[in-house]
């Protein structure tokens, strides 16, 4: 079961999350989470992922925004039925938080739209919320 899943104009984005204890150091208030995102073009129009915009919120309510070109150094082009999957990480200074955001997509004919990434929770397995 994905942590979050949305479809915007035929672009399905599903997210799975995992706590990474090997890269976390709770004594130093550092928790590291991995998230795997699968982007699938279920529409009929080819689209390219151009930029990402993340809104990351920790347990204290501190918000950090991250913007940049592509994902993991790539700007994948997805024709109908194609998928792109990647895993990235997010450090937090609290044992839980959340992420949400958008990918700016450009269609083959130059139209731009934002594909929504629904909010998902990052939680250290033993953290109480």
Q: What is the pLDDT of residues 43-64, one digit of tens each?
A: 999 999 999 999 999 999 999 9
Predicted pLDDT of residue 128: 60
In terms of pLDDT, which residue wins out, 2 or 13? 13
pTM of this prediction exceeds 0.85: yes
pLDDT at 127 over 70: no
* Distance separating alpha carbons of residues 58 and 122, to the nearest angstrom: 9
Domains with residue ranges and CATH for the chain: 4-123 (2.60.40.1470)
Question: Which phi-psi region, left, alpha or beta, contains residue 109 (left: φ > 0; alpha: ψ -120 to 50)?
Answer: alpha
pLDDT in tens, 19-39: 999 999 999 999 999 999 999
């Amino acid at each position: 079961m994905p942590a979050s899943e949305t479809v915007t104009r035929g672009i399905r984005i599903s997210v799975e999350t995992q706590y990474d204890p090997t890269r976390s150091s709770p004594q130093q208030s550092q928790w590291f989470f991995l998230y795997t995102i699968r982007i699938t073009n279920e529409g009929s129009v080819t689209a390219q992922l151009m930029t990402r915009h993340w809104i990351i919120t920790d347990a204290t309510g501190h918000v950090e925004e991250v913007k940049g070109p592509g994902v993991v150094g790539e700007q994948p082009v997805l024709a109908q039925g194609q998928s792109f999957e990647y895993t990235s990480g997010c450090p937090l200074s609290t044992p839980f938080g959340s992420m949400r955001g958008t990918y700016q997509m450009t269609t083959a004919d130059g139209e731009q739209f934002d594909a929504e990434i629904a909010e998902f929770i990052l939680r250290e397995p033993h953290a109480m919320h």
